[in-house]
Amino acid sequence: MTTQLAHTPLFDWHVSHGGRMVDFAGWSMPVQYASIVAEHRATRNAVGLFDVSHMGRFLIAGPDAQTFLDRVVTRRVTGMKTGQIRYALVTNKSGGILDDILVYHLVDPDGKDFYQLVVNAGNRQKIWDWLDKQRTCPTAGTANIDWRDITTDTAMIAVQGPRALEIVRPLFDVDVARLRYYYGVESKSSGGAGLVSRTGYTGEDGCELIVPADSALEVWEKLVAAAAQFDGAAAGLGARDTLRLEAGMPLYGHELSEDINPFQAGLGYAVDLEDRAFPGRDALLALRDDTSLPRRAGWILSGKRVPREGYDVFDGEERVGHVTSGTFSPTLDVPIACGYVRQDLAVADTQVAIDVRGRREPARTVELPFYRRTT
Amino acid sequence: MQPQDLLYAKTHEWVHVREDGPDRFATIGISHFAVEALTDLVFLELPEVGRQVKAGESFGEIESVKAVSDLYSPVTGEVIEVNAGLPDKLETFQDDPYGDAWIAKIKITDEAGLAELMDHAAYQKQCAEEGH
């Protein structure tokens, strides 16, 4: 049985510009237009444009929106300033990660608070169903919220790299350069209202735009033209993956899953346990100091062969972990990998070996991220 | 070498067969289509000289940023020469896939595999069906 893949509002543009379309979480998305390395470098050196419309977007408003979210995500939603965005996790009762998400605290034109969640494409239905289940609380009753999934009504475009703010600026009536990191604001884009936020998934400065689906192409084409002046370019999911991996950012389905807790993943900063009540909170309190579970680590290999997902990690003859993501780093010019390993080995400078298709390749454990921008 | 004059394996290797008296020698590379599909090459592992290979057997690997692919020998025989400088000059695959980017030469010892190979027209048809 074949299932119909979903198309973003920019699908036709991708196809007509040489995008190699692949199935990603049920969406037909460009993995690359020409070269992943060229798109990666354009983003590090100038600006890369990414269609990330496949990410799930939910609006949550109504009198109980804040208290409701506060009891489902790992970080406090109460106290978020208007425009503020928080990276947070949704965990199950045992503390396993259901998704990593962004929570936006926004205000509508009438001055009423509302929230937006951006969730992973592959978890959109799961998180929707989970939130729906959590709406009913045994002690607080059913949360009074108005919520809807706006994923297909909108498009989401990430503009990333040192030139990103410069090219986004003329398109919006807010000064994006003055927008603080992890803040967002509603603006009037040329084709209608849009949300601009100083967020991203590449390790570069930049922003993400959420615009109505029917104005997406117009905004995108303006960005493409502006980016070309700086040798910037549209970039596909391939470059998005190499960029996020260099930046040490975990990807759901690889570094994150329901079998991994946030502390193992190195995401303790995204978990507030004090005076909180959310699914998994009590389990996480016990797991916080559990040293028996593997931890996420990063490795640089000395050869040229690239470790891939699923490859085993060895300390001598003992299998001590596995790779969850690996690539050849275009910026560092070496193979890099992320994965989980016995906790005492997840320490910088520890030497391990990774079994790359039958041959043990020496690997050095490094602090994440692999790459940090200098400005 | 001209792509029209070569034979092709389903797995995108090209073969040029040269006859020398009773002996037949195959020069092997990968097609322009394969190079385009792989993109961003980072690593090539050549077969060892002297190795006996069977048609269809993996005898090396080529890796791009995105993924690793096996190289399959399109013929049965003995590897008599490899392009030793190629792993350090992977851009050659892009510049001259049917010439300087040859990978290995094999002395054919059994012609069984040859019948499986496609001519250029048939190979182009396969590439068109793979959609690129």
CA distances from A374 to A44, A46, A203, A243 (A): 11, 14, 10, 15
Q: Output A309-313 pairs: Cβ under 8 A, ≥24 positions apart.
A: A309/A254, A311/A337, A311/A354, A311/A355, A311/A356, A311/A357, A312/A354, A312/A355, A313/A339, A313/A341, A313/A352, A313/A353, A313/A354, A313/A355, A313/A363
Tell me the three state secondary structure of residue A178: helix
ipTM for the whole complex: 0.90
Please answer yes or no on whether B63 and A306 come within 8 Å at the CB atom.
Answer: yes
B118 φ/ψ sector (left φ>0, alpha ψ -120 to 50, else beta): beta
Residue of B40, B43, B68 with shortest CB distance to A35: B40
Please answer yes or no on whether B42 and A328 come within 8 Å at the CB atom.
Answer: yes
Percent pLDDT > 90 in chain B is 94
- The continuous run of DSSP H or E covering B122 comes out as helix B120-130
Q: What is the CATH number of the domain that holds A71?
A: 3.30.70.1400
- The CATH code of the domain at B3-122 is 2.40.50.100
Look at residue A94 and tell me if it is in a domain.
yes
Look at residue A95 and tell me if it is in a domain.
yes
Encode chain A (375 residues) as per-residue pLDDT tens digits: 467 999 999 999 999 999 999 999 999 999 999 999 999 999 999 999 999 999 999 999 999 999 999 999 999 999 999 999 999 999 999 999 999 999 999 998 788 999 999 999 999 999 999 999 999 988 888 999 999 999 999 999 999 999 999 999 988 888 888 999 999 998 876 556 799 999 999 999 999 999 999 999 999 999 999 999 999 999 999 999 999 999 999 999 999 999 999 999 999 999 999 999 999 999 999 999 999 999 999 999 999 999 999 999 999 999 999 999 999 999 999 999 999 999 999 999 999 999 999 999 999 999 999 999 986
Interface test with A, best of B58, B65, B66, B90 (most A CBs within 10 A): B65
Residue of B39, B42, B61 with shortest CB distance to A32: B39
As a whole number, the mean pLDDT across chain B is: 95
Look at residue A314 and tell me if it is in a domain.
yes
Q: Which of A217, A250, A251, A253 is nearest to A49 (CA)?
A: A217
Please answer yes or no on whether B40 and A36 come within 8 Å at the CB atom.
Answer: yes
Look at residue A68 and tell me if it is in a domain.
yes
Final residue of a structural domain among A125, A151, A177: A151
Please answer yes or no on whether B63 and A305 come within 8 Å at the CB atom.
Answer: yes
Quote the CA–CA distance of B66 and A39 in Å, as a whole number: 13
Using the Cβ of B68 and the Cβ atoms of chain A, whether some distance falls under 8 Å is answered with: yes
The tally of domains found in chain A comes to 2
Final residue of a structural domain among A132, A151, A170: A151
Q: What is the CATH number of the domain that holds A350?
A: 2.40.30.110
User: Can you give the pLDDT at residue A171?
Assistant: 87
Using the Cβ of A328 and the Cβ atoms of chain B, whether some distance falls under 8 Å is answered with: yes
User: Can you give the pLDDT at residue A190?
Assistant: 58
Chain B CB contacts of A37 below 8 Å = 40, 65
Quote the CA–CA distance of B33 and B13 in Å, as a whole number: 10
User: Can you give the pLDDT at residue A322?
Assistant: 98
Quote the CA–CA distance of A325 and B86 in Å, as a whole number: 28
Residue of A34, A37, A305 with shortest CB distance to B65: A37
If one counts every other C-beta atom within 10 angstroms of the C-beta of residue A357, the result is 15
Q: Range of A69's domain?
A: 56-151
- For chain B, domain boundaries: 3-122
Look at residue A66 and tell me if it is in a domain.
yes
Encode burial over A116-140: b for 16+ CB neighbours within 10 A, e otherwise.
Answer: bbbbbbbbbebbbebbeebbeeeee
Using the Cβ of A43 and the Cβ atoms of chain B, whether some distance falls under 8 Å is answered with: no
Using the Cβ of B112 and the Cβ atoms of chain A, whether some distance falls under 8 Å is answered with: no
Final residue of a structural domain among A111, A129, A151: A151
